[in-house]
């Protein structure tokens, strides 16, 4: 698959990505290399990743707990302290190996440490590959609210190795599908139609669907890097979805990001239909396709009140 040029960096895929990574490490002559992982990527991805990395510098590993609940300033503070203990300087680089939590948080850590050091994103989840891989948004949650603190700052490069998807449970794969569906709905009807019947998808070609999804998002963010216009379309499903996700972070069984966004897309499509921005037929198709992939979420009265407060 061909690399995708974004705002000042490129997204590389599979073997070509490791070649690009090693070339970058050699050219930049970094003083230190730090890899941020969570407990999952440390177990399932780190060994394979390091086997492809060619650098004479000793790579330091920083592990955090997995999950949205650790995407906080407190976690950032712990990482900043570790970087300081290892004498990281402006010529150091941070490699974020993980899902969207790791790339969001790690990008924010690097963007703020010593007023900004280089970072590289290596997303290992489907959600991270098709959503967090492009756009330059980094950040953490605050007080149960999603992405309240953050920066817009681009990585040096993004490496997408789809082999990491083999380590994911099915619910994580579904979570990533939500963003792929969104990209089709907001920008590419032909791409959306690929998902109208999942039984007809040839998963041997799934790499190409991932590549197309990144292209769609990249075409939008390169036109509007600071989200003043067209980029706001990428928030489809997220106005309600983020409120739903924030509410369920407080419950015993939190929702995955894509699960909340899927519900948000159905609800926002219903609102669009009521405002005559969508036909009833279009709304029904969106509801049917998304509903065939994601389980229905049950809300009690307290959930609804809290979600409204979070909007």
Question: Domains in the chain, ordered, with CATH?
Answer: 4-165 (3.40.50.1970), 170-310 (1.20.1090.10)
User: Is 217 one of the catalytic residues?
Assistant: yes
**238 given a catalytic annotation:** yes
The pLDDT of residue 229 is 96
Catalytic entry in 7, 22, 235, 287:
235
Which residue out of 14, 227, 282, 287 is catalytically annotated?
227
d(CA 192, CA 175): 16
Strand 4-5 relative to strand 10-13, pairing: antiparallel
Give the model confidence (pLDDT) of 74-95 as tens digits: 999 999 999 999 999 999 999 9
Angle of helix 280-293 relative to helix 170-187, nearest 10 degrees, comes to: 160
Residues 183, 231, 245, 259: which is the catalytic one?
Answer: 231
- Catalytic annotation, pick one of 179, 245, 259, 268: 179
Instruction: List the helix and strand counts (H, then E) for the chain.
Output: 13, 9
- Whole-angstrom distance, CA of residue 15 vs CA of residue 1: 10
Catalytic residue among 137, 146, 194, 211: 137
- Backbone φ and ψ of 251, nearest 5°: -100, 170
The one catalytic residue in 183, 194, 242, 247 is 242
Separation CA 59–CA 127 (nearest Å): 26
Q: Can 242 be counted among the known catalytic residues?
A: yes
* Packing angle, helices 170-187 and 206-223, rounded to 10: 50
179 carries an active-site annotation: yes
Please indicate whether residue 200 is annotated as part of the active site.
Answer: no
User: Which pTM was predicted?
Assistant: 0.94
Tens of pLDDT along the chain (311 residues) come to 999 999 999 999 999 999 999 999 999 999 999 999 999 999 999 999 999 999 999 999 999 999 999 999 999 999 999 999 999 999 999 999 999 999 999 999 999 999 999 999 999 999 999 998 799 999 999 998 899 999 999 999 999 999 999 999 999 999 999 999 999 999 999 999 999 887 677 767 899 999 999 999 999 999 999 999 999 999 999 999 999 999 998 888 999 999 999 999 999 999 999 999 999 999 999 999 999 999 999 999 999 999 999 99
Q: Is 201 helix (H, G, I), strand (E, B) or coil?
A: coil
User: Catalytic: 231?
Assistant: yes
Q: How far is CA 48 from the centre of its chain?
A: 21
pLDDT tens, residue by residue, 149-205: 999 999 999 999 999 999 999 999 999 999 999 999 999 999 999 998 876 777 678
Closest by CA position to 39, among listed 178, 171, 167: 167
Structure tokens at 70: 């650790």
From the candidates 238, 247, 259, 268, give the one annotated as an active-site residue. Answer: 238
Residue 294, phi then psi, degrees to nearest 5: -110, 145
The active-site residue, picked from 29, 58, 74, 115, is 115
């Amino acid at each position: 698959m061909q690399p995708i040029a974004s705002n000042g960096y490129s997204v590389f895929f599979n073997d070509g990505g490791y070649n690009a990574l090693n070339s970058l490490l050699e050219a930049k002559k970094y003083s230190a290399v730090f890899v941020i992982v969570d407990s999952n990527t440390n177990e399932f991805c780190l060994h394979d990743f390091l086997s492809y990395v060619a650098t004479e510098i000793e790579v330091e590993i920083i592990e955090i707990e997995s999950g949205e609940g650790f995407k906080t300033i407190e976690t950032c503070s712990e990482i900043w302290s570790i970087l300081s203990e290892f004498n990281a300087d402006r010529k150091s680089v941070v490699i974020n190996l993980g899902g969207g939590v790791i790339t969001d948080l790690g990008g924010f850590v690097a963007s703020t440490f010593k007023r900004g050091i280089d970072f590289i994103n290596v997303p290992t989840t489907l959600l991270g590959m098709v959503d967090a891989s492009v756009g330059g948004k980094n950040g953490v949650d605050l007080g149960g609210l999603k992405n309240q603190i953050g920066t817009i700052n681009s990585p040096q490069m993004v490496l997408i190795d789809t082999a990491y998807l083999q380590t994911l449970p099915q619910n994580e794969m579904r979570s990533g599908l939500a963003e792929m569906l969104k990209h089709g709905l907001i920008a590419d009807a032909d791409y959306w139609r690929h998902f109208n019947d999942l039984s007809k998808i040839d998963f041997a070609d799934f790499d190409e669907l991932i590549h197309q999804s990144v292209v769609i998002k990249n075409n939008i963010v390169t036109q509007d890097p600071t989200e003043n216009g067209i980029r706001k379309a990428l928030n489809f499903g997220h106005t309600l979805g983020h409120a739903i996700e924030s509410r369920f972070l407080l419950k015993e069984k939190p929702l995955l990001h894509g699960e909340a966004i899927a519900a948000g897309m159905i609800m926002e499509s219903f609102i669009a239909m009521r405002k005559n921005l969508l036909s009833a037929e279009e709304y029904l198709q969106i509801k049917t396709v998304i509903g065939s992939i994601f389980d229905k979420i049950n809300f009690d009265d307290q959930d609804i009140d809290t979600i409204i407060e979070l909007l």
